[in-house]
A = this chain, B = another copy of it.
Amino acid sequence: MQTLTNESTGVVRNGLSVSKLHETVSAIRKVPTLGFLKFHVHNQWSTIRLQSQAKVDTFYGAGQEQHHERPLVVNADEPAVLLGDDTGPNPAEIALSALSACMTSALVYKATAMGSDLESIESEFEGDLNLTGSLGIDPRVKNRFQEVRVKFKVKSDLDAATIEEMVKSSPVYDTFVRPVKVVVEIEKV
């Protein structure tokens, strides 16, 4: 296996440049404000039932405003049983998708930094909602996910406990399991 001390040769592990990864971490360690990230999403309701489009374009990172190579979108809808047109995943499925992508990339970053090769990562997410909560039918029922169950299948030389620690270092995982402050402002136009 290639070692992490061999950075000058431009080692690539799990598709990532190991030297670039270590340079990034070192830069943030030296200048912690380089670790600040700010993400923006603009959402537009289509006026067609429950269809909306979330668009991302710019973000703040590495100390400056950044642009995606092109604007990227996430289209949401609801299935017919929830009165939508089923043209896109629903918001709960998109939330689980975000969780799945974040836990996966956390594993890729951490395993690469540690010098481990990943052969495959696959994962299943299952989340329970109960509409009697969000509809206000039963105030004792939680409106958020009642529980989310995650199963990772990973082919690598890492042990299960290390993998678990790595996937749990995901910011979106932490957003699910701990409270986040969300400030909401309404403007009537």
Binding site for B on A (CB under 8 A): 14-17, 20-21, 24-25, 28-29, 32, 35-45, 47-50, 52, 54, 56, 59, 61-62, 66, 68-69, 72, 74, 76, 78-79, 81-83, 86, 88-102, 104-106, 108-109, 118-138, 142-156, 159-161, 163-164, 167-189
| Cross-chain contact B35 with A126 (CB below 8 angstroms) | no
A10 CB to closest chain B CB, in angstroms? 14
Question: Given A89-B56, A92-B172, A132-B28, A155–B188 Cβ distance below 8 Å?
Answer: yes
Chain B residues closer than 8 Å to A143, beta-carbon distance: 169-171, 174
| Cross-chain contact A89 with B74 (CB below 8 angstroms) | yes
User: Could you tell me the distance between the alpha carbons of A32 and B59 in the complex, rounded to whole angstroms?
Assistant: 42
Chain B residues closer than 8 Å to A170, beta-carbon distance: 91, 134, 143
Copies of this chain assembled into the complex: 2
Question: Given A132-B35, A143-B171, A178-B144, A152–B95 Cβ distance below 8 Å?
Answer: no
Q: List 11 A-B contacts (CB under 8 A).
A: A25-B137, A38-B126, A41-B124, A43-B125, A59-B79, A68-B86, A95-B175, A97-B98, A144-B178, A150-B185, A167-B184
> A175 contacts which of B38, B120, B136, B144 (Cβ < 8 Å)?
B144
> A129 contacts which of B28, B39, B52, B56 (Cβ < 8 Å)?
B39
16 A-B pairs besides A50-B105, A156-B188 with CB distance below 8 A are A15-B47, A21-B83, A29-B137, A37-B128, A39-B90, A43-B121, A47-B118, A54-B96, A59-B93, A61-B82, A74-B101, A76-B97, A95-B102, A98-B98, A106-B134, A163-B186
A64 CB to closest chain B CB, in angstroms? 9
| Cross-chain contact B189 with A120 (CB below 8 angstroms) | yes
> A92 contacts which of B69, B102, B153 (Cβ < 8 Å)?
B102
